[in-house]
Each structure stands twice: as structure tokens, then as C-alpha cells.
Structure 1
Amino acid sequence: MSEIAERYERITRQFTDRVRSVAAGAWDNASPCEGWTARDIVGHLTEWIPGFFGAQGVQFPEVPSVQDDPVAAWETVQAKIAKALADPALAGQPVETPFSTQSLAETVDMIVTGDVFTHTWDLARATGQDEALDSDHLQRMLAAVNSMPDEALRADGMFGPRIDVSGDADDQTRFLAYVGRRA
């Protein structure tokens, strides 16, 4: 398994655990993402990932409705990306992103894994679950967001406005504040 595939597996496992643990009545709970419910978080991921990669020629199976079965919807999308990362030809396929042309694996690593990582906290907060994020990936994400121009991160509402936190805030609180979340 490649380093990228391993990282994707580790981060999506944490999200998958949260998805599987949402209580039946909690799917409509408000999330930290303004105007979104817990179900909407899963819907966001299960819509944009197949849409984006489908436009790049990656065929996705029929994704179950997030309204009917958010767990099955997420598991279908997660498994397809994992399968793509396990196929060297597909993982190496060039993908056009708003930032550059890179391999499918690099695109998953840069965009998908980061989005899933951030939304793991959102889903946990919305549904009263463990909010701790993977500490190794947290360091990677902090370095990434600190290296990007603020305008690029906030364009098109990708992240909310940065929230000020105390100088002694822990790394997770600092990361969440950077991407517009109050921990």
C-alpha cells in the first residue's frame, strides 16, 4: 500500500467510524458548517467526490441516497477511492485540479483526505462523538494551511473566516480556528 493510500485509509477510517456511530435521530442535527446538518456533511462528500473524479474519467458505482442511507452512501464512495488508489494505472492517471495537473493519488491526498479530515470533526461535533483528530495528519494539515495564501483558502466559501484563538491553544483548536470552526 502506498503512503498516500495508507494515509487515505487511516483518515477515512476515522470518518467512517463516526458515520457508522451516528444515532438514528442525530442525522438532522445542526453541524458547525453553517446551514448544514450531519447528513449534509456526508452528502457533501458523497456528491463532490464522485462528481469531480467522474469528470476525470473515474467511474463510480451508483451511490445510495444520503437521505435514505448515509452510511451506505459514504461507504460506497470511500471504497471506490480506496480501490482507485490500489490500482497503479488509475492512481497515476493525470487529474486537472484548480491548482495544477497531478496524479489521481496526489489529488486524493491533497483534496479528498484533507476534506474528509476536517469534516470528521464537523460530524463528531454535530453528533456528540469523539472530536479528537489524527494527530499526525493534524500536523500535516497545519503545515499545509499555513503555507497557502489566505485568499486561496477562503475563496468560494471553502473555509469560513479565521477565528482568533489564544496563543496557548492546542494544535487541533488552532487548525479548526484557521478553517473557521470554533472548537
Structure 2
Amino acid sequence: MTTSAESFTARADAFAAILDGAEGRWDAPTPCDDWTVRDVVVHAIETEREFLERQDLSPGPSPDQSDPPAAWRKHASAVAEVLSADGVAEREYDGYFGRTTIAATMADFYGWDLVVHGSDIARATGQQWSVSEKEAAALHATADGWGDALYSEGVCAEAVPVPDDASASDRLLARLGRDPGWAPAA
């Protein structure tokens, strides 16, 4: 059985692999309006740091973000260290969606964000991206738990239509307000 902390780490590692494939295209536009690949990486690092700091957990100094893959790896390592400290992963608090734990939030909200933004970066940099039917179902289930808050400002845009026979990956992206056919301008 995979723990929430392990789930976050797996998603962080997958995000790192996508950054490795970006091959320096940090200023490429992404499906996120007005955000470059670099902006997406900075967003992922800063939002996770802010969450941990709100929980009185220090992920250490902010990494130098001039090299996005290195910054991400340093950050992800710091998060893993925080989560591995005695009692931190299981620590409960009242979150936006109800009572939860630190590790569950890292896996189910911030890790979920990494999957979605991994798609944004992959598509912005010409990489293939997809999720399995099983992972898509898990991501949909997590989003189901957020109800209408999924479409709050700064979370996801309204869903876009896709054909009934769309892939699991395309259905997921469409639900999250992303056009599955988006590609950078030629």
C-alpha cells in the first residue's frame, strides 16, 4: 500500500522527468494563460513552500530558480525531508476541503497539481503526456471531492467539451478546463 508521502514523491519524480525533457525551453508558453514553463515551475515550488510554512514546517531556503530542474529537485528533496520527520505526514489540520493530514494534502492537492502542470509543461515543450485509466480515475475522484471549488479562481477553468470517445488523458484535461488539442504556436 502506497502512503500519501510516497504518492507525493512519485508525482514529484514524474514532474522532474518532464522538466528534464523540457531541454531549456523555460520561456515557452503553456496552456496556462500568460504563464511560461518557468512560471509553472515557480508556481509549483512557491505554493508548496507556502503551504508548509502555513503549517509551521520549514522546507529550508527557497532554491535558486535559475535552473528549474535543479530548483525543483532541491525543493522536492526538502519536502520529502519535511514529510519524513516524525509525525509530520500524519499531522492533522482543518484544510480548505475539511479535516486532513499534511501528507494527504501534499499528495492529493499539490501532487494532483503536479500531474496537471506536468501536462502543461510536457505539451509546451513537445513531450508526450498521458495518464492511465486508473490514474485518471484517481485524479477525477480527488477532483470530485472538491465539488464546485474545483472551478474557483486560480484553480481550474470551466470544463471544455470533448468527444465521447476521448482518451482518459483528454477527458481529464477537458474537465480541468484545458483544451486537450492545445499546442504551442508554430
The TM-score, its normalising length taken from structure 1, stands at 0.89
1:127 maps to: 125
Q: Does the 8 A contact of 1:28 with 1:38 survive in 2?
A: yes
Q: Does the 8 A contact of 2:108 with 2:142 survive in 1?
A: no
How many residue pairs get aligned? The number is 180
1:175 and 2:176 are equivalent in the alignment: no
User: Could you say what secondary structure the match of 1:62 adopts?
Assistant: coil
- 4+ residue runs of structure 1 moved beyond 4 angstroms? none
Higher relative contact order (CA 8 A, sep 6+): 2
Candidates 102, 105, 115, aligned match of 1:104 = 102
Q: What CA RMSD, in Å, does the superposition of the two structures yield over aligned residues?
A: 1.8
Unaligned runs of 5+ in 1: none
Shift of 1:159: 0.2
The sequence identity of aligned pairs, in percent, is 28
Query: Any idea what the Cα deviations from partners look like across 1:65-91, whole Å, max 9, x if unmatched?
Result: 32x121222112211222233234111
Structure-2 separation of matches of 1:93 and 1:148: 21
Of residues 36-45 and 125-134 in structure 1, the stretch that sits farther from structure 2 once superposed is: 125-134
Unaligned runs of 5+ in 2: 181-186
User: Could you say what secondary structure the match of 1:89 adopts?
Assistant: coil
The TM-score, its normalising length taken from structure 2, stands at 0.88
Q: Does the 8 A contact of 1:56 with 1:96 survive in 2?
A: no
Alpha carbons of 1:136 and 1:129: their partners in 2 closer, same or farther (altered >3 Å)?
same
Structure-1 separation of matches of 2:36 and 2:54: 27
Query: Any idea what the Cα deviations from partners look like across 1:8-63, whole Å, max 9, x if unmatched?
Result: 22222111101122222x10000011110000110101111101111111111212
Alpha carbons of 1:134 and 1:116: their partners in 2 closer, same or farther (altered >3 Å)?
farther
